[in-house]
Amino acid sequence: MPKSLKLIFAGTPEFAATHLERLIADHHEVVSVLTQPDRRAGRGKQLQASPVKNMALSAKLPVWQPDSLKSDEAESMLRNAAPDLMIVVAYGLILPASILTIPRLGCVNVHASLLPRWRGAAPVQRAIESGDRETGVSIMAMEPGLDTGPVLSTHSLAIRDHHTGGMLLDELAMLGASALAEDLLDIESLLSSAVTQQHELASYAHKIDKAEGAIDWSEGAEALWRRIRAFNPAPGCYTLLGDDRFKVLSAHIEAGPCSGAPGDILSADDRGLRVCCGEGILVINEGQLPGAKAQPIPTLINGHRDRLRPGVQLKHPGAA
C-alpha cells in the first residue's frame, strides 16, 4: 500500500481496537480515529472511554467522538481530513450515504461473519447459538444497506465445542486484523474486483436482548448449551433457584432421556449439576449466585448443599 494513503478509522469495542492496534503497528497513516462517546459503566457508573479511544490516545492519534454522523459538522470534518479510505470496525453508529462517498476509495468494513450469513449486530453469538460449525470475517466495501456491500475477501474459522461468544470474538478479532492488513496491501485492486453478495442467502443477527438469557428448561439441552456458550460473557444465561437469579456460566450435554420434569435437578456432585430439559440433560459445570463470584459446581454444592440437591426445580425467570 502506498505510504501516502491516508486512513480514517471508526470503531468502538475491543474487537475494533485489535484492528486499530494492527494498523498502528504496521505504520499506516491514520489521520483521525472516530469512536462512540464515553459511556457510564460499572457499579460506580463512571464515564469510561472505549477501547478504541484508549488505543488511539496511547498512540497519540487524534480522536473524535460525535453523537451522530448525520450532521453538516461531521461531513465537513471528514472532508477536511481528505482521507483516501475509511475503515469501519464495530463502530456502532450509522454512516449516512453522504459520508460513504467522502474518502477517495470509499469505506470498508470488517464484519465478524461469512457474509451474507449473519448480517447485523450480533453475528458471533448468533452463529454459535444456531449451531454453525464455521464462521469467519468478511471485508466489504460499504454501501447504505446493512452489511450488504460487495465483499473484498472472506477468511474462515471453525467453531469448536469449547468456544464461547467471548472466546470466538477474540479469535475473530485477530483473524480480522491480519486479513485487513493483508488486504490493505492491494486495496485498490480488491475494491475494483469486490464480489456482490448473494442477497437471497442473507440471514440477520439481531441484537441480543438480555431477556433471551432466561433459561426455559422445556427447551432441548443442546439448544440451551449452545445459547449458554454464545451469551458468555454477555449478556449471560440465568435461571431461578428459589427466588435467586442463578447464572449458568458453563455446561455440557448428556445423551439419553430424562425421566423428570423440565428444570428438575437429577443429581448434584463433583461431575456437575444434572438438570432435566425438554429433551435430554444439561450438566452445569460453573455457576454464580447473587453477591458471589463465579464458582465450579462442586464448590457451590459445598456451600449450598440444601439448595442444590436432587429434587429441587430450577425455574424459568418468566414463569408465573
Task: Give Cβ neighbours of residue 15 (< 8 Å, ≥ 6 apart).
Answer: 89, 90, 112, 169, 172, 173, 176
In a domain, residue 313? The reply is no
Q: Angle at the Cα of 25 (from 19 to 28), degrees rounded to 5?
A: 85
Residues 196 and 75 in one domain: yes
Q: Strand order of the sheet with strand 85-89?
A: 63-64, 29-34, 6-11, 85-89, 107-111, 134-141, 151-158
Buried b (16+ CB within 10 A) or exposed e, 70-97: eeeebeebbeebebbbbbbbbbebebee
Tell me, what's the pLDDT at 156? 98
Domain assignment present for residue 1? The answer is no
* Amino acid occupying residue 305: R
Q: Sorting pLDDT into bands at 50, 70 and 90, what band is 42?
A: confident
In the prediction, which pLDDT does 1 show? Answer: 41
Q: Is 80 contained in some domain?
A: yes
pLDDT at 4: 62
3-class DSSP state of 113: coil
Q: How many domains does the chain have?
A: 2
Model confidence at 45, in pLDDT bands (50, 70, 90)?
confident
Mean pLDDT score, 233-260: 95
Stretch 6-16: mean pLDDT, rounded?
Answer: 98
Q: What is the pLDDT of residue 132?
A: 98
What is the CATH classification number for the domain harbouring 28?
3.40.50.170
Do 293 and 225 share a structural domain? yes
Report, as an integer, the average pLDDT of 38-62.
Answer: 93
Residue 253 is predicted with a pLDDT of 97
pLDDT at 116 exceeding the cut of 50: yes
Alpha carbon distance 248, 29 (integer Å): 45
Do 53 and 187 share a domain, yes or no?
yes
